[in-house]
Amino acid sequence: MQKRKLGNSGLDVSAIGLGCMGMSFGYGPPADKAQMIKLIHGAVDRGVTLFDTAEVYGPFINEELVGEALAPFAGKVTIATKFGFKLDPATGAQVGLDSRPEHIRAVAEASLKRLNVEAIDLFYQHRVDPAVPIEDVAGAVKQLIADGKVKHFGLSEAGAKTIRRAHAVQKVTALQSEYSLWTRGPEAEVLPLLEELGIGFVPYSPLGKGFLTGAMNETTTLVSGDFRNILPRFTPVARKANQALVDLLGRIGARKNATTAQIALAWLLAQKPWIVPIPGTTKLHRLEENLGAADVILTPGDLVEIDEAAAKITVQGTRYPDKLEQMTGL
């Protein structure tokens, strides 16, 4: 597996990481723990060194899973986790945002135990908390770094101004936000700023929460508990309209002897050398397929063709319902 540096931080990771959320949360009942540990071990065997989790995935059980699975590989992999949500102590449900410094420290301590590590490799603010100045957030993480409990600071779904303000207090190693051929918001302001400041970019949902793999269409039924059931972009009408984007990826893939998912990931990798997507999966064959994207070469002509064709396709449906946009944690 090729390696990439997350910006100017010096943090080397595999060109493609593994998003672990779906193993425990978001897509229906949690997958079998033993099987997921086996899958994570399979990822390590295939060269993956960046693994992504968060306290809210479950909550808590995904961090425990990742910590147990990666314990034999301490010092050889990078584990990223996140803080920033207020959880109901009785149910674990998300009930708001909380990035107060004292809460950040408490989450860090709890995550260290669940992950069974001495220091958190990459600690993201999961969502920007409008009630807490970003300088206070960055300062709290800066102190955790000074204390040896965190190695790198990250942000998720933050805008350009917020990133710049945070970076002035504590250097931001990586931004994690949704980015793919059907979610291109970061391109206007965020990507240029990341390049200016030397910050790496970790796209989550690089395969459009599964849609860009071509594995679903307008008739696909999602299981109960799958959060995509409430997403406007996943209504049958939207899926039918958005199939044009999958068809585009399929046409390029047929020419490159690659799958639609591989073209979607290869497109991301071709955007910048400091972009590291983290597709998630619970299946070994999908993991192998995703990792194969690192070997797919898209020429400048291919990229122009994809961009010109994609520009003619209007993606239907918003990412999240309005009320969940800031609260989703997904």
Query: Which residue spans within the chain are E strands per DSSP?
Result: 3-5, 12-14, 18-19, 50-52, 78-83, 85-87, 94-97, 120-125, 150-156, 172-178, 200-204
- The residues that are catalytic are 57
Q: Which residues, including other chains, have CB under 8 Å from residue 89's CB and lie 6 or more apart?
A: none
Question: In the β-sheet with 50-52, what is the strand arrangement from edge to edge?
Answer: 18-19, 50-52, 78-83, 120-125, 150-156, 172-178, 200-204
- Give me the helices (H) in 125-235, please: 134-146, 160-169, 190-197
Residue 44: closest CA among 262, 268, 273, 291: 291
One-letter identity of residue 186:
P
CA distance 105 to 111: 10
Query: Do the beta carbons of residue 52 and residue 24 sit within 8 Å?
Result: no
Decide: 112 and 83 in contact? Cβ < 8 Å.
no
For residues 217 and 247, give the distance between their C-alpha atoms in angstroms, rounded to a whole number.
11
196 contact partners, CB below 8 Å, separation of at least 6: none
- Checking DSSP bridges between strand 12-14 and strand 3-5, what pairing results, if any? antiparallel
